[in-house]
Structure 1
């Protein structure tokens, strides 16, 4: 059963997301949306002479898709239904480029649970984004703001 509240989560809990293939359309739409038209992402001829030998996906596209995959874990989802907002992303490191056509997935672990007040808490998750060859592309830590189980009162 999918978790409902902060209290349903456990430090050390791990999950593996499904994969998602990064497409030409993803890269073009990301460039258009953000205005990041750097030729390493959008110009095949230019990219041939780059250290990568071909176009690569934007790092922030990889991070965005990789972190969003945490929400597609089905029954193993780390963030509960009561998730309110993304609170913080930190310790992002891009280790290797993702190429158009790579299928990425995210391996994640709950590393900290921090109660904030009677109604909210923070779940800290460490993630590793890998490609179809299980090569590490990026690492990150994020904090999700989530609801706590309501306290029952007696009247």
Structure 2
């Protein structure tokens, strides 16, 4: 999605990523990297006693995987500028496959021949349940 110069985007334009299945290894590796060993994510016996009845992926892991499903073209993308209004709606379990839907909602010129592309980001799993949403701004170059 982020492979075009600022002037090439249009409000309302949308894009869908490929899918990615969340694995137990993803959760363990993320817990190791982040230090977040909360038992809802890492302790199967604990998680069985919760309303989810099984381990769930960390919310930040889900957002990170979503970011990895996007395409950021070097030389065009300057920076990941911001993420606001993050909401989590449904859990992501081991074995769920998520993808990202983006819709351009705002285009704002910025300094130094750059512009901000604002998108509504939706993370959706194979059941079509919305897992999370956010407003993301990417700083891209102008032509």
Calculate the TM-score normalised by the size of structure 2: 0.93
**2:105 aligned partner:** 111
CA distance in 2, matches of 1:44, 1:37: 12
**1:132 aligned partner:** 126
CA contact (8 A) 1:124 1:141 kept: yes
Offset at 1:118? Answer: 4.7
Cα deviation code 1:47-87 (max 9, x no counterpart): 1111100000000111111133222xxxxxxx665001100
**2:34 aligned partner:** 34
Which 4+ residue blocks in structure 1 deviate beyond 4 angstroms? none
For the pair 1:89 / 2:86, whether they are aligned, the reply is no
CA distance in 2, matches of 1:45, 1:117: 53
Q: Which ranges of structure 1 fall in alignment gaps of 5 or more residues?
A: 72-78, 150-155
For the pair 1:8 / 2:8, whether they are aligned, the reply is yes
Q: Which ranges of structure 2 fall in alignment gaps of 5 or more residues?
A: none
Cα deviation code 1:79-110 (max 9, x no counterpart): 66500110000010000110011000011101
**1:62 aligned partner:** 62
Report which of the two structures shows the higher radius of gyration computed on alpha carbons: 1
CA contact (8 A) 1:12 1:111 kept: yes
CA contact (8 A) 1:118 1:148 kept: no
Calculate the TM-score normalised by the size of structure 1: 0.86
CA distance in 2, matches of 1:130, 1:98: 9
Aligned residues: 141
CA contact (8 A) 1:80 1:146 kept: no
CA distance in 2, matches of 1:44, 1:12: 42
Offset at 1:3? Answer: 4.2
CA distance in 2, matches of 1:137, 1:4: 27
